[in-house]
Amino acid sequence: MSTGFRLPQGGLIDRNSQYRFSFDGRALTGHAGDSLASALLANGIQFVARSFKYHRPRGIMGAGLEEANALVTLGDGARSLPNAVASTEELHDGLSAHAQHCWPSLNTDFGAVNQLFSSLLGAGFYYKTFMGPGRGPKSWLFYEHFIRRAAGLGKASREPDPDQYETVNTFCDLLIIGSGPAGLEAARIAAEAGLDVILAERDFELGGALLADTGTIERQPAAQWLASQVDRLSKSVNIRVLKRTTAFGLYDGTVAGLVERRDPAQATTIPWRERFWIVRAKRIIIAAGAMERPLLFAGNDRPGVMLASAVGSYLNRWAVAPGRRVVLATTNDSAYATARDLAIAGLSVTLIDSRDRISEPLHRLANNTGIDLRLGQSVRATLGSRHVRTVDIGPANGQGAVGSRLACDIVAVSGGWSPTQHLLSQRGVKPSWNESLQAFLPGRANEPIDCVGSAAGLWRSDDCARSGRAIAAAAAAALGRKAPVEDIPAPGGWETPIRPVRLASDLNLKKIFVDLQHDVTAADILLANQEGYEAPELLKRYTTLGMAADQGRTSAVPALALLSEMANRSVGEIGTTTFRPPFAPVSIGALAGMERDKHLLPIRRSPLHDVVADSGAHMLETGLWMRPWYYPQNAETVDEAYLREMRQTRDAVGICDVSTLGKIAVQGPDAAEFLDRVYVNGFKAMKAGMARYGVMLREDGIVMDDGTSWRLSETEYFMTTTTGNAAKVMAWLEDLLETRWPELRVSLTSVTDQWAGISVAGPHARNLLAANIGELDFANEAFPFMAVRNGVFNGVPCRLARISFSGELAYEVYIGASHGPALWRALRNTAKELGGCAYGLEALGALRIEKGHVGGPELDGRTTLEDLGLGRMASTKKSFIGDVLRQRPDLRRDDRARLVGLVPVTKGEMFKGGAILAEQGQEDGHGLGWVTSVTESPSLGHWIGLGFIQGGLDKWQGKTVLAADPIRGRSTLVKIVAPHFLDPEGTRLHA
């Protein structure tokens, strides 16, 4: 049915422009200044959507974010955007919109069959049907697939989003949200007082309700007043005006989240589609207006039933008459202006006011404009198929029967107004119910956030403007600026009080839709109440009322009014729910901004990154670092390559990039004392020129990290940490120094990036270094195990320590980062001559397993020194972090899982990390332990592993258990052995 039409004149549209757009493939036209909804209505299209649960026909009911029905999908393919609100979407040339939640089409929707089963799909349907005795997980798992297919509003594209999004952090003195009369005046006063102001407006035009106001404000025509305000704003240097910008969340510290949409007319010049603004304001003024509430009657969801203010907006702002014969039902004064404008525009208007009496001016308004005014009446029901055709009306007290049936094509309704205070609610500010205004008014915030205008319950434009001025002046004063002081007007402003919503007793509750977006009916609320879900938070969760994309903007108060009637308690006693961000849907792209694809996280590159890549390394992401994984030769696989690298290292020499190890300079007179306190073993007695392996614990006695610390002088150490724990250890040490031991004169500096590090391991390590690091005696006596020496490479100083992770004769050499590549190339060339190679992360890990060194898989945040076989390292002569709590009886139990070595009983078999260790036949449950690290050992010719088993080596040495790996379908018998597979005496590393 085609009902709407464009009026021949008026409105804020540019009739000289013509935009082509489409809806469900149908070619249509509109004008610049139109919203998608206004253009659809101008083309006679009211039926645009299907409802969520019952797939009932739904039409455009609002003109802003209060719209609960007209959700559409915009665009196609990768750029498609579901759940766009037609009434807030700015029309542009080429816009393509589609109805959603219907199949195969809007007109023929198979889902509409749900209406036949509506009596079965009431509140709590899923709980009652799929949960409870006899309906266990199997039944839910069977139905879940079908339920999930049916659930959800709209479908997101599965293609990568090709658009760009930006993030902007900014600061201001005052953030004003909303640009109606209150917001505009607040901005003006604040700017005149010298504040740095941001004015954010969701709409693509400034003005809020004034854009559709044909009345006056402060003795001027509204349009004229608005034009002069906008002109003033444009000339102000300290106001940033953000149009098309929705404030969706307020967070701690007066931080606001805003999303700005690109002006469609500038799509070719502005590269981003949306911008995410993070605004840190000293103060915030919420001038977001109020939202009109619908009325409750049977068939109140039928296309053609619209909010009265929306009808007024379409008429006055967009010059669109949504219909020709309008029945306007109200409980308050606000709808009279719309009725007047409709009548003046030549439409037939019947005004149904539920109140028995109204003020004389409103009487005169009706009489003078030819409005058919009926007092004390209310709408009981609408009739029609896909559009309203008639309404039944009856006494508003609900006592009498339907009195008459009126033909119409639009039913405009006004059930009162709800101040838009969702953002304030997000901050935990509870609103208070005002019985005379039938509205929740904002509570007082403990933060510098104020509500003004209709958001504070002021209904007259003059009062709104005044409140904006008064609050802005107060804000300016609070920020040390001067502004003219004004009184803040009291809430309200209607001459005749609003009449509370009351349902007639003979209504079909199943046809009264309280939450239009989630298809929650009055019957659902009644049922929930009868079943004990009386609190609004419980009602919300049981019925899903207010849980959809519109956040219950139009449904909350009508639902509470119903609940109040049913529970015989006032709305104020019942209270309301807490709103949470986002106030309006925000695209994931806007939140992600640039942090996607390769910019999802920053990448850390070792100083040797390019040179190891040139050496043919396959790189691997480990945390943020890119590290050389293996260096394939002749198309080797990773397994072939790392085993070869291990063999070459053990037989000759290998070099490995260890620049990623955490490195911390510990300097100062108390550096030794500091290390003594954080490591379990002592460092004070260690002489300069020596290094020591150290382990540090968390306060709870669990091992935190390990590494070596080199004593460079009496007052300076060079600490290394594991790559993965570098940042954590640095933060922990700084915390200790600043909060526990501020008396220590110690300086901690991360020098991870200062140094390129290369590990040189293997029997020829000494020869390799001697060939490249001049003037340094590498003889065993001159440079013993754990010694630290300074060297020179190509005239550049470097530092070396003889330490070994692989069990081989090994050194770590560190040189200034920019000189690392040259050192690498030199060492690599010499290594080749000596029959050695570069080895990567895979071989590094495998070499240490052969030696039985613990690594990341063993330091998993659960293990103690004793679990790792390192208990004897703990000093008994000093205290250290974690020493007290590591003595807890539970951590000292003999049956704790302790580190052991594992070898397969059948040498050719393999097993994997993560397998459970269990006795044969008892592999169900948690088992006796687990496997942490495995590798094939070229030295031993079979697989080996490290793991933990209850009781450790003392209980299990030489015994056989099962490495059960049910997920990967493999179980292997393994023998428990000592964790040092290779050279347990240390002959090689001391060579």
The residue written with tokens 């954080």 in the block is 678
Nearest 5°: phi and psi at 41?
Answer: -65, -40
What's the CA gap between 319 and 533, in Å, rounded? 45
What's the CA gap between 334 and 352, in Å, rounded? 13
Neighbours of 254 (CB within 10 A): 18
Our CB check for other proteins shows the closer of 269 and 876 to be: 269
Question: Which residues ranging from 657 to 716 are in contact with other proteins (CB under 8 A)?
Answer: 665, 667-669, 715-716
What's the CA gap between 981 and 268, in Å, rounded? 66
Our CB check for other proteins shows the closer of 21 and 272 to be: 272
Our CB check for other proteins shows the closer of 168 and 535 to be: 168
**Is 223 in contact with 241 (CB distance < 8 Å)?**
no
Cβ neighbours of residue 585 under 8 Å, at least 6 residues apart? 83, 549
Residue 750 beta carbon to other proteins: minimum distance, rounded to whole angstroms? 8
Residue 804 beta carbon to other proteins: minimum distance, rounded to whole angstroms? 25
* Binding characters for other proteins, 741-770, by CB under 8 A (x = yes): ----x-x-x-xxxxx---------------
Which structure tokens are listed for 786?
């754990």
Query: Is the bond preceding 104 in cis, omega lying within 30 degrees of 0?
Result: yes
Residue 268 beta carbon to other proteins: minimum distance, rounded to whole angstroms? 11
Our CB check for other proteins shows the closer of 92 and 605 to be: 605
Our CB check for other proteins shows the closer of 240 and 405 to be: 240
Our CB check for other proteins shows the closer of 107 and 749 to be: 749
Which structure tokens are listed for 564?
């109040």
Nearest 5°: phi and psi at 666?
Answer: -115, 110
DSSP at 860: S
Q: How many residues bind other proteins (CB under 8 A)?
A: 44
Long-range contacts of 143-150 (CB under 8 A, 24+ apart): 150/111
Residue 486 beta carbon to other proteins: minimum distance, rounded to whole angstroms? 29
Question: Which residues ranging from 273 to 292 are in contact with other proteins (CB under 8 A)?
Answer: 278, 280
Our CB check for other proteins shows the closer of 142 and 251 to be: 251
Residue 589 beta carbon to other proteins: minimum distance, rounded to whole angstroms? 13
Query: Is the bond preceding 582 in cis, omega lying within 30 degrees of 0?
Result: yes
Nearest one of 60, 25, 57 to 39, comparing CA atoms: 60
Our CB check for other proteins shows the closer of 50 and 604 to be: 604
Question: Which residues ranging from 810 to 839 are in contact with other proteins (CB under 8 A)?
Answer: 816-818
What's the CA gap between 957 and 980, in Å, rounded? 13
Number of residues assigned to the chain: 991
Our CB check for other proteins shows the closer of 447 and 716 to be: 716
Q: Is the dihedral of CA 265, 269, 273, 275 positive or negative?
A: negative
C-alpha of 193 from chain center:
37
Residue 722 beta carbon to other proteins: minimum distance, rounded to whole angstroms? 16
Residue 189 beta carbon to other proteins: minimum distance, rounded to whole angstroms? 21
The angle formed by the CA atoms of residues 197, 202 and 203, to the nearest 5 degrees, is 115
271 touches other proteins by CB under 8 A: yes
CB under 8 A: which stretch of 55-63, 267-275, 856-864, 901-909 binds other proteins? 267-275
Our CB check for other proteins shows the closer of 248 and 755 to be: 755
Which structure tokens are listed for 514?
């309280």
115 touches other proteins by CB under 8 A: no
CB under 8 A: which stretch of 266-274, 521-529, 892-900, 951-959 binds other proteins? 266-274
* Binding characters for other proteins, 778-797, by CB under 8 A (x = yes): --------------------
Our CB check for other proteins shows the closer of 96 and 170 to be: 170
DSSP at 976: E
Our CB check for other proteins shows the closer of 166 and 700 to be: 166
Residue 703 beta carbon to other proteins: minimum distance, rounded to whole angstroms? 26
**Is 433 in contact with 411 (CB distance < 8 Å)?**
no
93 touches other proteins by CB under 8 A: no
* Binding characters for other proteins, 589-628, by CB under 8 A (x = yes): ----xxx--xx-xxxxxxx-----------------x---
Residue 273 beta carbon to other proteins: minimum distance, rounded to whole angstroms? 11
DSSP at 322: S
957 touches other proteins by CB under 8 A: no
What's the CA gap between 804 and 811, in Å, rounded? 7
What's the CA gap between 830 and 769, in Å, rounded? 9
Residue 236 beta carbon to other proteins: minimum distance, rounded to whole angstroms? 16
Residue 171 beta carbon to other proteins: minimum distance, rounded to whole angstroms? 4
* Binding characters for other proteins, 188-217, by CB under 8 A (x = yes): --------x---------------------
Our CB check for other proteins shows the closer of 194 and 443 to be: 194
245 touches other proteins by CB under 8 A: no
Residue 771 beta carbon to other proteins: minimum distance, rounded to whole angstroms? 24
Residue 659 beta carbon to other proteins: minimum distance, rounded to whole angstroms? 8
Residue 87 beta carbon to other proteins: minimum distance, rounded to whole angstroms? 30
DSSP at 480: T
Options 171, 482, 614, 633; binder of other proteins; rule CB under 8 A: 171
Residue type, 123: A
Q: Is the dihedral of CA 782, 784, 790, 791 positive or negative?
A: positive
Which structure tokens are listed for 274?
């949306």
Strand pairing report for 703-713 and 716-721 = antiparallel
167 touches other proteins by CB under 8 A: yes
Which structure tokens are listed for 279?
């605004």
By the 10 Å C-beta count (0-12 exposed, 13-18 middle, 19+ buried), 857 is classed as middle
Encode burial over 550-572: b for 16+ CB neighbours within 10 A, e otherwise.
bbbbbbbbbbbbbbbbbeeeebe
Our CB check for other proteins shows the closer of 149 and 598 to be: 598
Residue 745 beta carbon to other proteins: minimum distance, rounded to whole angstroms? 5
Ramachandran quadrant class, 491 (left: phi over 0; alpha: psi -120 to 50; beta: rest): beta
The residues that touch other proteins, with contacts defined as CB under 8 A, are 164, 166-171, 196, 269-272, 278, 280, 593-595, 598-599, 601-607, 625, 665, 667-669, 715-716, 745, 747, 749, 751-755, 816-818
